[in-house]
Structure 1
């Protein structure tokens, strides 16, 4: 086999398509350990598959250097993704958030288009072919094997994913294969885009099912603000979820490893500063505090904030003493959320960490450590924020690896 692609997810299928388009006479095989391809594509975006975002920049990603990511994205930008899928019969629509979904609202549409195009190009797709050994031979070829048998190939693309949602097949074993060929991994590998678990006695967990826009910020133990994100948040019986939480989770978990005193704070009035809310309360006069809060927030949260600030719900603005007012301002605009853990790789939408980009020639995605080996997708140390950015990294890096290999 002239080119073997290990992993038939988003990046692997994209690499297969572009390898076959670049060199139609080449014999290409995709090996995947699962019985059916594309489990992660099918569960993405609530089963609708958020294919990409209308505007993608290097600043939407973490991990490798922004400059390196920028160069790679420029080779196959979001516009190229939209064009390719249109060519494959999948029209995309833009939602208010900027996310692009198939007009069918079905992830299956996206997966079918990729598989059908690969098959049209005579790519051989083999499932139930988990690779357990990848070795380089003396003549420069690779031996790829598992319980199913062995293939020898002069070029290999490793597109096995990271560790997020391991039941889909991305259980981190691809890194083991890369390590055996001389690669090293980033010192930290942890879940990204993951719901957070709060302490058992954190009262807002009682609001499970309530959602609202919020501003979340990560603060060092000394109080320095490190990062903030604004977006929708969902209270759960375990703690916090929703887009804003998934986005901030990576930054919070990373900072926590440097400083165990790292805090996550929530402003339930995004866009409103503590001083502004304080001034509003002072100007309230004979009006009801509870009415003001309920106009701004879901009723259950408004009532809980009053309870936590030890304020009688019947109180009016002019009955509020300074200490109680300050408690309410703090609870509403800078509430400390005692995060004690996260839901782990089982439910994380992405992986932070992986093979550092400086071990890869980004013009080609070929390994600097092991010539003939190419890497793409989540196996690399690149993770995007929520909104289709991780898929765009898969399409862009898969395209470059496929064309180059």
Structure 2
């Protein structure tokens, strides 16, 4: 994206893309289950974490979701909106997106050089950049770093871009951790027995004092390690951040989203001679319904009028605020994004040029910006890549 807009802005400069991989675009190809969730139909700064919302808003405002749709249409890629608001190529193939970008870059005479991992980036005595690796060296007056963070390092984003930026004077946020990542539950957490079962749920991050820090509602997937699915990925960065501040932070789950504990309690009290198991199975997957009754120490055949107060309270807590003993996460190897990076206050947001190293531009996940699931991280890539490309090419 940055190379395309640098080339569109300046027909006189030579634009060179250096990529350490043998093939371009690995992250595009694996995104969205191989379909590539290009963006979301509605993107605001509130969909992101990391840098200040106002700072993120400035960059998004230069090249928003509508501009992304228009650009890809111009490049021959039609996008379709799904119920979730996510926009995918009508071909349902990520390769369509990657081919369009590569073809446009080549049309603009951008030199794309693969197997060119950059291991050294420094300014020489002429105040130009010496960019080098085992493959050789290039001298350039301007450089755009778009190396990503640390998520899915096998695609090339292994954090080395941060090292290059640090050598040129940048610092990083105090915390760098996986975002949009599956969570690992303790071995004795019984719901792991339901691996493969998926359902809508409401996830809540609670402080040690009981304060609700974050609430996310969406689909959840049980795995043999713990939890995954869109809602879990979205809540993960908030839980992992909060637990760093307070190890007593809890993740609780309401298996009946939209139903507060008081409402379920009232329903159970009014159940009369009806079956508890039947009620729960109408609202939840059968295996989860039965497990909740077992964990609440309630016989599967019990009716509402046979339920004592203590048992009823146990069931209400397990169904609407189940404590989930999280012991870790799946790490950068599978995380879809990185939380943390180069702080936005080290970047001139009108241009994405470094404030500490003139001539250096930064865009994408190398910056301290991470979006929720749904195409938002791609939109940050398009927006920041556009700004960096136009500015470096001017």
Q: TM-score, normalised by structure 2?
A: 0.99
1:263 has 2:250 as partner:
yes
Q: Distance in 2 between matches of 1:25 and 1:145?
A: 23
CA–CA distance in structure 2, aligned partners of residues 20 and 142 of structure 1: 19
CA shift at 1:25, angstroms?
2.4
Match of 1:46 among 27, 33, 37: 33
- Match for residue 180 of structure 1? 167
Q: 4+ runs of 1 displaced by more than 2 Å?
A: none
Corresponding residue for residue 106 of structure 1: 93
Task: Give the C-alpha shift of residue 211 in structure 1.
Answer: 0.3
- 1:143-162 equivalences in 2 (<5 Å): 143-162=130-149
**SS of residue matched to 2:125:** coil
Which consecutive residues of structure 1, in runs of 5 or more, have no partner in the other structure?
Answer: 1-13
Which aligned pairs between 1:4-403 and structure 2 lie closer than 5 A? 14-403=1-390
Q: Give 1:138 shift.
A: 2.0
Tell me how far apart the structure 1 counterparts of residues 262 and 11 of structure 2 sit (CA, whole Å): 64
Distance 2:331 2:34 in 1: 21
For each residue in 1:40-84, what CA deviation from the matched residue of structure 2 results, as whole angstroms up to 9, or x when unmatched? Answer: 000000000000000000000000000010111010000000000
Q: Which runs of 5+ in 2 are unaligned?
A: none
Deviation at 1:23, TM superposition (A): 0.8
Coordinate RMSD, CA, aligned:
0.4
Shift of 1:148: 0.1
Per-residue CA distance 1:212-262 (angstroms, 9 max, x = gap) = 000000011111111010000000000000000000000000001000001
TM-score of the superposed pair, with normalisation by structure 1: 0.97
Separation (CA, whole Å) in 2 of partners of 1:311 and 1:25: 76
